[in-house]
Amino acid sequence: MSIAKASGFEALEKLMSTEPPVFLAPSSISEVARTASRYLFEKLKPFNPKSPFDQLLVDGFDAEQIWQQIDLQCQPLLSSLRQDVKRFAQNPKEIRKLGNLALKVSHEDDDVDEMDMDDDELEATESEGDEEEEGDEEEEEEDDVEEDEEEKSGDHEGIEDKFFKIKELEEFLEEGEAEEYGLDYKNKKGVAKRKKQNLRDDDDDEEDEDEEEDDDEFGAFAGGDDEEADKLGKARYDDFFGGKKKETKMKLKDLSEDDEAELENQGDVKLSTHEKDRIKLQSKIEQMEKANLDPKHWTMQGEITAAKRPKNSALEVDLDFEHNTRPAPVITEEVTASLEDLIKSRIIEARFDDVQRAPSMPTKAKREAKEMDDSKSKKGLAEVYEDEYVRQANPAFAPTTFSDELKKEASILFKRLCLKLDSLSHFHFTPKPVIEEMSIQTNVPAIAMEEVAPVAVSDAAMLAPEEIFSGKGDIKDESELTQEERKRRRAKKKRKFKAESAKDPVKKARDDTTENPKTVTGSEER
């Protein structure tokens, strides 16, 4: 047993001394780890009456199975520890009592170990415990939080339902904050738990000191531990910058180990913000360097064919193309309404873009469609021939036909129109001289005209007697006149002549023409 213990302890020491990266690589350290874990298991077994295993079965089991065994042992432990913590929170004085009791108890069991342990070993166990039980811590935290949830669920019944629990929200937030601020939070808890264990395990004076220190620290953390829902809300100077004793411990550790190993191994060392930032930055740098060395993601590889990327991976990526064409129009209600408005306005205006029928130019003039008269002709055929002959021979005598009259009327109208147009359009317009229509009336006896075929011209005069001679009173011929009448006429003549010559001194030529030339002819004729 003692040999086993010794080997176990050595194994622990060895584990502690190795660099953390070695753990990641498969190496002989696994055997050492197994023995160390077995040793620890045995240590904890007395506190766990319900433990199913007497000792940790390590040979031939893989990591998962070993872990399961540890887990089985630890689970009930955790709950009992939690209850103890609560009790202590309420009655801080009990701690000392228990501590002494525990020390005594453990002292009886494992003297050797306790003796050998000094600060380093304490730290080693702590660190060992830390490594092995980080998972535990997280679980502890979760369990704690779950317990808290169970306890305090009654407070927020109105808001919470099966999907939303304020406790879970707070837990999530605190986890985030814990990540942000580093290992303090975890260490805090881990420290508390481990301190408990150490209290039970160790019972030396040094351990007393530790105890006291632990107690101090414990006292410092007391408030934080108690109020598990509000841990970081009451962060104190000590949390970040630690108490004096912690600093001394840290210095000791600096001498022996690397900074990183220390960080990993010592949960209770407080780092400055600068150092935390530096650590974060370095981890980021490492990540980025690693990413640079790895092969790139397919989206960053330039031209990719479907064979080179994983199946259906293009569906997950948000593809964006620059389209050169305008997108097709989506016909919405508004578009239709605007179109209909346009159509209505066009209808009201009656403004259409129809095809206009061009009126075709006639290639020939239309034939005059003469209407044929059906009625029997009034004129006999001989009369028709007569008319034609007369028109030919003597156009003046021929009676005018209907069409001739129409033509005359048309020509008269046209002349009038032309006159008006000329007066409007011509700058130097002079109206045409009015031509008096002179119809020549020949002094042919009427009978000559009336005869259809005038063969001879008769003596009867065409003109009326008044036209021939107009005079008043008793008209006598010269042969009928008496002497006195002749004298009277001559005297009249003379008087007239004298009157005219008195007016007009110039002698005029005698005017032979008389008023009525016809009278002369008429008288001549007689």
Partner 1 sequence: LQSPFSSMFPSKPFPKTLIRHQHQTSSFIASPTLKHSRKIKMLRRNIRLRKEYLYRKNLEGDERVQYEKKMKIREALQEGKPIPTELRNEEARLRQEIDLEDQNTAVPRSHIDDEYANATENDPKILLTTSRNPSAPLIRFTKELKFAFPNSQRINRGSQVISEIIETARSHDFTDVILVHEHRGVPDGLIISHLPFGPTAYFGLLNVVTRHDISTKKAIGKMPEQYPHLIFNNFTTQMGQRVANVLKHVFPAPKVDARRIVTFSNESDYISFRNHVYDKGEGGPKSIELKEVGPRFELRLYQVKLGTVEQNEAETEWVIRPYMNTAKKRKFIGE
Residues 482-521 interacting with partner 1 (rule: CB under 8 A): none
Please list every residue from 398 through 457 that binds partner 1, using CB under 8 A: none
Show contacts with partner 1 in window 159-178 (CB under 8 A).
none
The CB-of-327 to partner 1 minimum distance in angstroms stands at 10
State yes or no: residue 342 binds partner 1 (CB under 8 A): yes
Pick one of 357, 367, 503, 510: the residue that binds partner 1 (CB under 8 A). 357
Residue 337 interacts with partner 1 (CB under 8 A): yes or no? no
Q: Is 332 in the site for partner 1 (CB under 8 A)?
A: no
User: Residues 54-83 vs partner 1: string with x where CB under 8 A?
Assistant: ------------------------------
Among 307, 355, 452, 453, binds partner 1 (CB under 8 A): 355
Separation between Cα atoms, residue 183 and residue 397, nearest integer Å: 147
Cβ proximity of 189 and 141 under 8 Å: yes
Q: Interface with partner 1 by CB under 8 A: which range of 145-153, 271-279, 323-331, 449-457?
A: 323-331
Using the rule CB under 8 A, give the single segment among 40-48, 145-153, 230-238, 346-354 that binds partner 1: 346-354
Residue 360 lies near partner 1 (rule: CB under 8 A): yes
CA pair distance 243, 269, nearest whole angstrom: 10
The reply on whether position 361 binds partner 1 by CB under 8 A is no
Candidates 346, 379, 489, 494; binder of partner 1 (CB under 8 A) is 346
Does position 376 interact with partner 1 (CB under 8 A)? The reply is no
Smallest distance, partner 1 to C-beta of residue 358, A: 4
Interacting stretch for partner 1, rule CB under 8 A, among 103-111, 329-337, 417-425, 487-495?
Answer: 329-337
Segment near partner 1 (CB under 8 A); pick from 145-153, 325-333, 448-456, 468-476: 325-333
Of 347, 384, 413, 481, the one binding partner 1 (CB under 8 A) is 347
Contact call for residues 144 and 228 (beta carbons, < 8 A):
yes
Q: Would you mind telling me the total number of residues written for the chain in this entry?
A: 526
Listed as own residue / partner, the contacts of 221-225 with beta carbons closer than 8 Å and 24 or more positions apart are 221/188, 221/191, 221/192, 222/89, 222/92, 224/188, 225/85, 225/89, 225/188, 225/189, 225/192
324 binds partner 1 (CB under 8 A): yes
Q: Which of 274, 292, 293, 352 binds partner 1 (CB under 8 A)?
A: 352
Q: Is residue 348 within the footprint of partner 1 (CB under 8 A)?
A: yes
What number of other Cβ atoms are within 10 A of residue 12's Cβ? 22
- Verify binding: residue 328, partner 1, rule CB under 8 A: yes
Interface with partner 1 (CB under 8 A), residue total: 24
Instruction: Please give, one letter per residue, the 3-state secondary structure of 305-347.
Output: CHHHCCCCHHHHCCCCCCCCCCCCCCCCHHHHHHHHHHHHHHH
Stretch that binds partner 1, among 279-287, 320-328, 404-412, 479-487 (CB under 8 A): 320-328
SS3 243: coil
> What's the distance, CA 276 to chain centroid?
47
Q: Which is nearer to partner 1, 331 or 435 (CB)?
A: 331
Report the alpha-carbon distance of residue 258 to residue 279 in Å, rounded: 13
| C-alpha span between 122 and 135 (Å, rounded) | 20
Whether residue 240 contacts residue 270, with contact meaning beta carbons closer than 8 Å, is answered with yes
Give the whole-angstrom CA distance, residue 470 versus residue 493. 19
- CA distance linking residue 254 with residue 271, whole number of Å: 13
- Check residue 358 for interaction with partner 1 (CB under 8 A): yes
- 16 contact partners, CB below 8 Å, separation of at least 6: 124, 127, 128, 265
The token duo for 238 is 């000590």
Contact residues for partner 1, defined by CB under 8 A = 323-326, 328-331, 339-340, 342-344, 346-348, 352-358, 360
